[in-house]
Amino acid sequence: MRKIAILAAFIMASALNLAAQEDVRFGFQASPTFNWMNTNNNKINSSGVNLGLKLGMMGEFYFRENYALSTGLGFWFNAGGTLLHENPGIYWDPAILPPGVDTLPAMVKLKYGIQFVEIPIGLKMRTREFGYNRFFIEPALTLGFKTQARGTAIGNGLGEEVEKINIRKEVNPINLSWGITGGIERNISENTALVLGAGFQIGFADLTRNKGTVFDPNRPEPIRENSKGKVSGIIIRVGVLF
């Protein structure tokens, strides 16, 4: 975390320096998110939405009046969601579970709460100014680095103590996603604009470790759990640009 904080301070200082140029803008966002997880296994299904939050800096580097490369540095808090496992199995390392708990029951719900540091790279396209407003659309790719992961297991025979356990080792360190956001910029002064928009972010990297064992009643032997768990979300962008 210390290295991440130093990197954030360096990028902020660079952004402040670049902001003096007419073709560069920077800003900040505090954007609510509604995110969930799904897999490629029809026995492991999405079963809950996390309310998350994106906080961070935004930077826009204009190469034409209404076209810019966009990037930034920020945190995505409480990303993830809940996955329902139809079959019993050893899905998380028993060492992180309470004593006596190893095989999780059928229909267990595993809730993931993950924190990422994110670096998006996008192309922002906006309209000319209409009064005080401009409309924009911004496709982007996002690289995320896991910094924290907490989990909760919910199922028959599990006590309340299986809550908010450390599942860092059960979540892969890097997340890759793509998405698109659209919205409006409202100028409130010569150099300041409020930003309001909405978009989606779809993950395409496998976040789950896949080291578990599944006990499928239709198979004579246990099998390895090798599903691909991905996180996606809807983002309500709220920010300010200078």
Kindly report, residue by residue over 39-75, the tens digit of the pLDDT: 999 999 999 999 999 999 999 999 999 999 999 999 9
Q: What is the DSSP string of 199-226?
A: EEEEE-S--B----EE--TTSSS-EE--
Residue 185 CB burial class (10 angstroms; 0-12, 13-18, ≥19): buried
Threshold 0.85, pTM exceeds: yes
Spatial separation of the C-alpha atoms in residues 183 and 100, rounded to whole Å: 51
Average pLDDT, the chain: 91
What pLDDT does residue 161 have? 63
Q: What is the DSSP string of 70-138?
A: EEEEEEEEEEEEEEEESS-EE-S-GGGSPTT--SBPTTEEEEEEEEEEEEEEEEEEEPPPBTTEEEEEE
Give the chain's domain count.
1
For residue 71, what is the domain's CATH number?
Answer: 2.40.160.20
The tokens for 232 are: 């996606």
pLDDT at 120 over 60: yes
Q: Residue 89 sits in which domain range?
A: 2-241
Kindly report, residue by residue over 190-236, the tens digit of the pLDDT: 899 999 999 999 999 999 988 899 999 999 999 999 999 999 999 99
